[in-house]
Amino acid sequence: MHELSLMEAVRDQALEQAGRHGAGRIVAIRLRIGSLAGVEPEALRFAFTVVMEGTIAEEARLVIEAVPAVCFCGPCAQPFPAPEGNCECPLCGAISLELLQGRELELRSLELEEGSGPPAEAPSPAAKDIP
Ligand SMILES: [Zn+2]
């Protein structure tokens, strides 16, 4: 499933940012998804629970921000909505090749919770046998 690999990329990015901020937990992950990005929100939500399992984002909320597709018509010099990805200008009928938005698939923001002390499951070096 295509959504799984997408979510894995989101997870890696989220965990990296959380690590950089010293967060102990990711509370929410907000994504921007264009209507033409070619992903199913339902499939994304499923992939989310699968790939976040066992990470500090395991209990995070997934917030999906839908981005409608918009094309730009050069001759009319104005943007117009293209919900189906059909970039035919409703005013002059020209086919626009300029898609302004609608293909987004990006990590918009994270809600983090600060870590409290050392992580509980940190591997303990003492567990190794000492000569
Ligand atoms: Zn036009």
Beta bridge partners of 114: 23
Q: How far is the CA of 93 from the centre of ligand 1 (A)?
A: 6
> Could you report the per-residue pLDDT of 29-59, keeping only the tens digit for each?
999 999 999 998 899 999 999 999 999 999 9
- Count CB-CB contacts under 10 A for residue 126: 7
| DSSP-derived 3-state class of residue 95 | strand
> Could you report the per-residue pLDDT of 75-105, keeping only the tens digit for each?
999 999 998 888 999 999 999 999 999 999 9
**Residues that place a CB less than 5 A from ion ligand 1:** 73, 75-76, 89, 91-92, 94
Burial of 120 (0-12, 13-18, 19+ CB in 10 A): exposed
Q: Which helix (H) or strand (E) holds 18?
A: helix 2-20
Q: How far is the CA of 84 from the centre of ligand 1 (A)?
A: 17
